[in-house]
Structure 1
Amino acid sequence: MAIVIVWAKLWPEFLLHALGAPADVRPSAGVADKVGSLFQRLGDRWQPLVNLSRYIAWNDILMVPLAVLGMAAMRWRSMIRGQEIALPLALGCLAGCMLALAQGYGWGFRYAHGFIGPFCLLAGLGWARFRPQDALRPLLIGLCITALGSIFLVWRTHAFVAPYAASHRLIDSSQADVVLIDPRGGLYVTDLVRGRNGVPGKPMVMNLGMLTLDQVDELCKSYVVELFDRAEFRPLGVPLARWNLSRMDTLRAHMKEAGCDKPVQPPLPETFEDALNAAGNAM
């Protein structure tokens, strides 16, 4: 409760005192609305399960089961009297996994990373209370499964990220001032709108769907503009996503009429040897 008061009440008041009233005030949900939305997530029967499955898969396979045993090992009478040290750890882990935001795509369930330490402590308690005498076989089996699972997950992560990394390299190689992303037809292509190493630069990458007709005209008039759409990212292996936005059809048609729809092209080889390498030594 104290941390909620600090960030929700005291910090905004401090900013208001130090910097003055904001020039642009937008309505936002209050603290009660945000807390209510946390508990609404419990109504989604799949979200906590999906989050927890990611968390289990990207950690030691025995960590969560042993942590559950550690919770079961708590002495309930001591817990009621406030003498069970594992109780706050258990409450934090349960709240962190059940009420956390859905991270969307990704791996490891990053919103529960802060609870890895408490989970490990609870897992240690569960192992100490329930393990057979001098029996390390379950631990060794768990470590082997974790190692094999980690190899598989790292391979799948690389396979998932590779098309987007190739798309970033192609965009970064553009000599244009601005690259407009048309994300239709690709999964998570909107996330290609980012600067090099997180810093905006040349080319400036923008989402075409977020621009108005006048803004597109201004860009085409003042800068060298190139397009990056499904014709470029689909051959790189970006997964297909079937969605449409009719407003972007209008923008694309207007850009074509204005001659401002040149696609992103990789740079030309600088030397004859580079050209041979790019062609796979076809000659």
Structure 2
Amino acid sequence: MSTIHSFALMLLLGASAAVLELSGLTFQTMSHTIWVVVGVPGLLAVLGCLAGAVLFERLAGAGLVARLERLDPGRVPVWAIAVAATALAAIAVQLVHHDHAFSMDEWMTRFQGALFAEGRLTGTIPAEFLPERRALYHDFARIDGATGAVASGYLPGMAALHGLFALVGAGSYAASAMVGLSVILVAAVARQIWPGQAAPAVVAALLVATSQQVLAAGSTSYAMQAHLALNLLWLWLFLRDRPVCHGLAALVGIAAASMHQIHVHAFFALPFLLGLLRPFRPGLLLWYGVSNLLGHLLLLSWDPLGWAGAASAAPAPATGAVAATLARIAGWPGLEAWATVYGNLVRLLAWQSLALLPLLLAWAARGSRQRVLLMLAASVVTTFLPYPILMPDQGHGWGYRYLHGIIGNLALLGAAGWMAIAGRAELARLRAAVLLLLLLTPFVMLPLRGALMRDLVGRYAEAERLVARDAGIVVVDDVGIYYGADLVRNDPFLEERPLRMRLSLLDPAQIARLCRAHRLAYMAPSEAAPLGLAVPDPQALAGRWPGYRARIEALRACPGGAEAVQ
């Protein structure tokens, strides 16, 4: 096994994924845009670095190989790696992401986190704007039409973490802190697997700390980095195999399930819990079964609208969402879903440390098959299982965010790969090439990814600043602007001005009523296009959406005319 195998595999996977993406066989959503703008240049850089490692392994002089071999990973303090990774993620919050919640998943975390920081469960829509309530917030928000109570539709864990950090003015850095915690915990788990050996713990820590996906997620408000940290904490407690640790592990599992979606941690933990069947440990099985059942029932009962005293929960569309989910479960994913999932798996590999793939192949070829490592591999598979059926398209996200929680598994398997090649004289060149790839990741891949992400996120951050103009209400053309609905972001009490509203969810009568009471502005496709946001052809748009022209005419008919209507 050598770096040529890693290069050949990445070339095959990347080329086939690119063909599927660019031929239109995948879902043409924001994930496709990210693939084109950030993914393709990044993939080419990954291939270039792997090709360089191949040449190094074949052609480097013995002296250079020996110098790299002297870089003993076991001498690097894990705490220093954790601090550096946390700092990089925190710097990227501003430098790369403009402190902007790129996706509505991130925005809803901040929205609900701000409520929690004030000691509230819900916001309130004033009675004046109740008729336009759905135009004011994204579909991810839950709204009570009778009382105007509004809250995030997600489970509360990540929002609570964000709110806790927001109390000291650091809400945007909650995920960054989870990066450092993940680095420390993956090293701690490695020490359990290889007691008394420093190198595998440091290698695992470096693979997490130089993961492009980890550092990208750590600079966002996604729950994914918290999932990774809590999964590793759960695993560390589980492997200690003491009564108090199993008690705490169950609580950590419930906390992990509360972060975003309830199933994420359950599929991660499944192989380890099934391992309690052989040897059969009925007491532990009962403990985890009962605690998870009660904890998950508690999470399923989470209803901020009801708990805040609202008369009713969110409206009927929830029933339709459940029916749609059941229909997806009953059906087999089509070609579009499988092509998208395949591309996502390639993203997962391309967004890790450059050293990970060679180390995974080394483990697969000659590594240990001890029980815990096989469980880690099985956990990767079980975590993946729901997504081809339930959510084949991730939409926004860096790398493959749905599998973010198993990056620790991959790092530990990579550490097993390092152990498989360590100390073998005939593999000195391979070890040196792996160390070179570890060095190339922060110095080549991270700056490149950061620049590409900064450009894409910056387009929407600039559009958000453009929406926040001097007006009472800004009507955003969410049909004529690609992902224009993401620009409609209002505070939980509608105290800040301007208010933003989605054009597609306002009828002409509502527009006329708002015009009489407020000064309206219009965020038009012609304003978004110079910022780099995609806009469809206006004629095709009008033909595809019959109500479009009527809404535009209603805006033109406003007293004085809505600003920027063309």
TM-score by length of structure 2 reads 0.39
8 Å contact from structure 2 (residues 360, 414) kept in 1: yes
Aligned residue for 1:46, secondary structure, equals: helix
Say whether 1:189 aligns with 2:189: no
Q: Rg larger in 1 or in 2?
A: 1
| Distance change >3 Å, CA 11–CA 149, structure 1 → 2 | closer
8 Å contact from structure 1 (residues 48, 97) kept in 2: no
Letter in structure 1 aligned against 2:554: H
| Distance change >3 Å, CA 215–CA 113, structure 1 → 2 | same
Say whether 1:216 aligns with 2:545: no
Q: How does 1:230-245 map to 2 (within 5 A)?
A: 230-242=525-537, 244=541, 245=545
| Distance change >3 Å, CA 7–CA 47, structure 1 → 2 | farther
Report the equivalent of 1:279: none
Specify every segment of 5 or more residues in structure 2 that has no aligned partner in the other structure, as ranges: 1-265, 267-288
Say whether 1:85 aligns with 2:85: no
Letter in structure 2 aligned against 1:51: N
Aligned residue for 2:530, secondary structure, equals: coil
Say whether 1:128 aligns with 2:429: no
Distance 1:86 1:34 in 2: 36
Aligned residue for 2:522, secondary structure, equals: strand
Distance 1:261 1:69 in 2: 63
Decide which of 334, 340, 359 is 1:66's aligned counterpart: 359
1:145-185 CA distance string (max 9 Å, x none)? 4231222211111121222221111222x111111111344
1:186 Cα offset (Å): 3.2
Decide which of 46, 59, 78 is 2:339's aligned counterpart: 46
Aligned residue for 2:501, secondary structure, equals: strand
Specify every segment of 5 or more residues in structure 1 that has no aligned partner in the other structure, as ranges: 76-82, 265-283
The percent identity for this pair of structures is: 24
Letter in structure 1 aligned against 2:564: P
8 Å contact from structure 2 (residues 479, 503) kept in 1: no
Say whether 1:158 aligns with 2:459: no
Q: How does 1:2-81 map to 2 (within 5 A)?
A: 2=289, 5-6=293-294, 9=297, 11-12=299-300, 22=312, 24=315, 26-27=318-319, 28-29=321-322, 33=326, 36=329, 40=333, 44-67=337-360, 69-70=362-363, 73=367, 75=369
Decide which of 532, 548, 552 is 1:248's aligned counterpart: 548
1:7 Cα offset (Å): 6.6
Report the equivalent of 2:472: 177
8 Å contact from structure 1 (residues 68, 122) kept in 2: no
Aligned residue for 2:326, secondary structure, equals: helix
8 Å contact from structure 1 (residues 64, 119) kept in 2: no
| Distance change >3 Å, CA 13–CA 109, structure 1 → 2 | closer
Letter in structure 1 aligned against 2:396: Y
1:53-96 CA distance string (max 9 Å, x none)? 22223220232453354356353xxxxxxx61112211221233
Distance 2:325 2:459 in 1: 41
TM-score by length of structure 1 reads 0.73
Report the equivalent of 1:103: 394
| Distance change >3 Å, CA 66–CA 48, structure 1 → 2 | farther
Per residue, is there more helix in 1 or in 2? 2
